[in-house]
């Protein structure tokens, strides 16, 4: 019984950490894309 509970808890912890890493990765990609978009738009604005 305790073994099952421990395995279940570790599974939940691993799933939670995976979800957290996924959210951080998506936020990082969004920040990088928006930053690149700002750089390109500012470069085009100054170039024009």
Sorted by where each begins, the domain ranges of the chain are: 1-48
Number of Cβ within 10 Å of residue 12's Cβ equals 10
- Strand runs labelled E in 1-48: none
5 confidence band (pLDDT: 50, 70, 90)? low
Indicate yes or no: pTM above 0.85: no
> Residues 6-37: pLDDT tens digits?
677 788 888 899 999 999 999 999 999 999 99
Q: Say if residue 46's pLDDT is above 90.
A: no
Closest CA to 31 of 18, 46, 23: 23
């Amino acid at each position: 019984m305790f073994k099952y509970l421990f395995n279940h808890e570790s599974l939940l912890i691993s799933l939670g950490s995976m979800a957290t890493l996924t959210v951080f990765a998506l936020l990082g990609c969004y920040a990088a894309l928006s930053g690149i978009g700002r750089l390109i738009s500012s470069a085009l604005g100054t170039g024009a």
